Amino acid sequence: MSGEGFNKDISRRTFVKLAGVALAFPSCSFLKEKDSFPVTIAGSASKTGHLLRENKFPEPAETVRVTTLIVGGGISGLSAARWLKKNGLSDFKLLELDTEAGGNSKGGENAVSRYPFAAHYLPIPNEKFQELIDFLHEHAVITGFDQNGLPVYNDYYICFEPEERLFYRGLWQEGLPPKTGLIDEETAELARFMKEMDRYKEHIGSDKRKSFTIPLELSSTDPELMKLDGMTMAEYLERENYKTPFIRWYLDYCCKDDFGTSIKNTSAWAACHYFACRTGKASNADASDVLTWPEGNNFLAKKLLSEVQSNVEVQMLTYKIEQVGDEWHSYVYDVQNQKSIKYVSKSVILATPQFVNKKILSLQTAVNWDEFSYYPWIVANITIHDKKSLNGGVELCWDNVLYNSTSLGYVNACHQSVNVQEKTVLTYYYNFSERSAREERQEIYSKDENYWKNFILEDLRTAHPHIAEHIESVEVNVLGHGMISPVAGFRTSPSRAKLAEGHSGLYFAHSDVSGISIFEQAFYRGICAAKQALQSNQRA
């Protein structure tokens, strides 16, 4: 006992001494931790969503009647809502589970900049996708049309130069794929691949349709091309005899970035679509240009929302949908008021992903829900107080990618700012698809702030050894189901055809019906489902 007391005493004395030393040198930088910036994990809607697992909700206290109910306020839900309104239906509600609508196009803001929580850009759209062109024109993203009828985009929204750089062989190289730094074999394989993709851009299938286009539903279903859907991109590369690690890495990066999974899972048709569908024409931009904003696609989500704001209710969790005669009954939990509401409607547009639909639909269906895979992501917004520290060889670009890193690099949120500024926000992306989606999900939900801090720092330090000194704060968004992945066979899946068809008054708008999680597809599916619902309402 006394021995213990003695030890305690000593340690307290030592502590006091050490504290004295620390107090004596308050400004000694070596005593301070260099990476002592705050890290927060932003609350995503997953907690509310997980109430579905327990499935314990109060009995509905009231009944609300609307002509059409939209469940889900991502881009597809907002697009469906907009379409209903444009076509004269205002008696509808859109229910969103999160505190705001936007889905993968939500965004945040701090003192330095606005920034996205996920989707960052829209490629120059197919100029024949009239509904999308109209939407962009209505909101002044397109400012007019030139004498050839080509859209003129707002200059400030077209991604500025310098657009992309790759940290490769210890240096930042301009461009992605890089213009410099590749060896001859790598350049040759890349050129061969791009030539093949350029051929696909022009190619017309046996059904006289373009081989690859957006919306992807309008692409050719030529059996020769459909063979590509029967294999993964990794198998395609094998078959076509691509050898260099560079091209494998590059395509793996592209698949993860756009589809949320690696070449080992991605359908070769989807990967080719990514390269061959971008043929949009514009008066003042090329097909390879992209439209981007500090807050990413949140800019577009807000524009959609502005048209339907009065019909949108947030923090509403739909937990059961059933057909009763000609009507649809939707049971909704009002998270704020902790009560349930029953919505009765002629039609329902489900703009929710299929992993949710499988839980809330009381319906016999031929849909195989297991075909739909959604891998998790983290998206971290990193506030940097000295933007210049990120230059080196090539100036900080819009998109900055690290070769052979498993991350997807970072986007400079302030890139489209014309002002001179010292600070910036970087949006850092990481896709987890090495193991099964379920395993990856369990893993990432268990991690804390400190884990993510070290995780991100370790990755970025390969290109920026001193980045920790320049970070002001980090906000991590954990996305358990990041996006739908177009795995091999997705294009020819009967389940998708079934969903696209709908079910007498029940229609599916989510982009996972198409199989590719991009703004254009969500926008398109929303319109398709809205058209179906309007027709069905008339019949009823």
Partner 1 sequence: MSGTREKKNQLLLLISVFVIATCGLIYELIAGTLASYLLGDSVTQFSVIIGIYLFSMGIGSYLSKFFRTNLLVWFIQIEILVGVVGGISSTLLFFSFEHASGFHIILYSLIVLTGTLVGLEIPLLMRILKDEFDFSELVSKVFTFDYIGALFASILFPLFMVPYLGLLKTSFLFGLLNVMVAIILCFTFESIKYLSFLRIQAIVAAFLLLIGFVFAEQIQSYSETITLGENIIFSKSSPYQRIIVTSEKGVTKLYLNNNLQFSSADEYRYHEALVHPGLSRIKEPSRVLILGGGDGFAVREVLKYPTVSSITLVDLDSAVTSIFRQSDFLSALNSGALNSPRLKVINTDAFRWLKENSETYDFIVIDFPDPSNFSVGKLYTTSFYKEVRKALAPGASFVVQSTSPYMARKSFWCVNNTIAATGFKTMPYHVYVPSFGEWGYVMAFDTLAAKSYYIPQQLKFYDEARYAEMTTFPKDMAYEPTEINKLNNQILIHYFEDEWGRVQ
Q: In the complex, which residues of this chain contact partner 1 (CB under 8 A)?
A: 155-156, 158-163, 284-285, 289, 395, 418-420, 422
- Say how far apart CA 104 and CA 519 lie, in whole Å: 9
Contact 136, 122 (CB under 8 A): no
Nearer to partner 1 among residue 158 and residue 304 (C-beta): 158
Shortest Å, Cβ 395 to partner 1: 6
Would residue 502 be called left, alpha or beta, if left means φ above 0 and alpha means ψ between -120 and 50 degrees?
left
Distance CA 151, CA 36 (A): 48
Q: How far apart are CA 294 and CA 248, in angstroms?
A: 31
Q: What angle do CA 30, 32, 34 make, to 5 degrees?
A: 95
Contacts of 150 (CB under 8 A, 6+ apart): 127, 281, 282, 283
CB of 499 to partner 1, least distance (A): 38
Distance of closest approach, residue 419 Cβ to partner 1, in angstroms: 4
In the complex with partner 1, which residue's Cβ is closer, 1 or 418?
A: 418
* Cα distance between residue 322 and residue 350, in whole Å: 12
Cβ distance to partner 1 smaller for residue 24 or 418:
418
Shortest spacing between CB 156 and partner 1, in angstroms? 7
Residue 291 CB, shortest distance to partner 1, in Å, is 10
For residue 314, which of 105, 107, 103, 96 has the smallest C-alpha distance? 96
176 or 304: CB nearest partner 1: 176
Which residue type, as a one-letter code, is found at position 389?
S
Q: Which one, 283 or 462, has the nearer CB to partner 1?
A: 283
- Rounded to a whole number of angstroms, the distance between the first and last alpha carbons of the chain is 85
The C-alpha angle 423, 426, 429, rounded to 5 degrees, equals 170
Judged by beta carbon, residue 290 or residue 314, the one nearer partner 1 is 290
Q: Which residues are CB-neighbours of 372 under 8 A, at least 6 positions away?
A: 353, 354, 355, 484, 495, 512
What are the backbone angles phi and psi of residue 45, rounded to the nearest 5°? -80, 5
C-beta of 422: minimal distance to partner 1 in Å?
A: 7
Q: How many C-beta neighbours within 10 Å does residue 91 have?
A: 13
The residue count of the chain comes to: 540
CB of 19 to partner 1, least distance (A): 32
177 preceded by a cis bond (ω within 30 of 0)? yes
Residue 406 CB, shortest distance to partner 1, in Å, is 29
Looking at the Cβ atoms of 360 and 414, the one nearer to partner 1 is: 414
- Of 6 and 156, the one with the shorter C-beta distance to partner 1 is 156
Residues paired with residue 342 on neighbouring β-strands, in sequence order: 63, 331
- Amino acid identity of 164? E
Smallest gap, in angstroms, from Cβ of residue 5 to partner 1?
46
Task: Give the Cα separation of 455 and 457 in Å (integer).
Answer: 6
CB of 294 to partner 1, least distance (A): 14
Nearest approach, Cβ of residue 526 and partner 1 (Å): 29
CA dist., res. 373 & res. 296, Å (int): 24
> Quick one: 153 or 524, whose CB is closer to partner 1?
153
Listed residue (325, 317, 328, 337) closest to 63, CA to CA:
328
Query: If residue 480 lies in a helix (H) or strand (E), which one and from where to where?
Result: strand 471-484
Residue whose CB is less far from partner 1, 180 or 454: 180
* Nearest CB to partner 1, comparing residues 48 and 143: 143
Total Cβ atoms within 10 A of residue 319: 17
Q: 156's torsion region: left (phi>0), alpha (psi -120 to 50) or beta?
A: alpha
Of the two residues 95 and 285, which places its CB atom closer to partner 1 in the complex?
Answer: 285
Phi/psi for 372 (5° steps) reads -95, 115
